[in-house]
Structure formats: structure tokens, C-alpha cells
Amino acid sequence: MTTQEIFRKLAELQANGIPACLATITETAGSTPREPGAKMIVCADGAIYGSVGGGCGENQARSAALRCLLKTKAPELLEVDLNDDLGVKGGDVCGGKMWIFVEPFRPH
């Protein structure tokens, strides 16, 4: 999905009254699957559009987005370590670290 398609989707969700979260990689250190600026939209039903790199890291972003949409309603800066035990077991062996900003977009 292109960046343009991501923002278009976000605008469309907003216009249709569907709350959604945008997750954006803001910083990386070491080897990571994607670079800063990579984006993913998460809806309250768990649907995702785009990708922040797949695997456990992306799943953490998805969980943070659902937490934000269903509970906290507040943005979160998520630190994802692709080197921890869980990551290695799950196949995330890039070895780096990334920070993902997760923010809610409410319908108008």
C-alpha cells in the first residue's frame, strides 16, 4: 500500500465514522524490517492496512492500537525490541529496535 493510499484510507474511515489508529515507525536502531515513516492503520475490529514490518513487532503495534481504540483513547509511543526472547522465538530476528507512534483518529 502506498503512503497516499494509507492516508486516503484514513480519510475514508474518518468520513464513514469508523475509529482507527495510525501506527508510524518514528525511529529505528540496528536492523529493522522497515524504515521510519512506514505506516499501518488498525481498526477496532483488528483489521489492518499497510505494514510496519510484519511479525511480532507489527503485532505489538496492533495490540497497542487496539488498547488505544478500545480503552485508553490516547496516543502511545511504543518501543519494540526485535532482539528479545519472544521476538526471536516468533521469528523477528532482525536484531534492532524501533519506536512506533500509535495515534487514534476519531470520526468527525
Interface with other proteins in residues 17-76 (CB under 8 A): 24, 26-27, 36-37, 74-75
Shortest distance, position 96 Cβ to other proteins, whole Å? 15
Task: Find all residues with CB under 8 Å of 71, minimum gap 6, and list them.
Answer: none
Question: Could you give the CA distance from residue 33 to residue 59 in angstroms, rounded to a whole number?
Answer: 13
In the list 3, 30, 91, 93, the residue contacting other proteins (rule: CB under 8 A) is 3
Contact footprint for other proteins (CB under 8 A) = 1-4, 7-8, 10-11, 14, 24, 26-27, 36-37, 74-75, 77, 99, 101, 103-105, 108
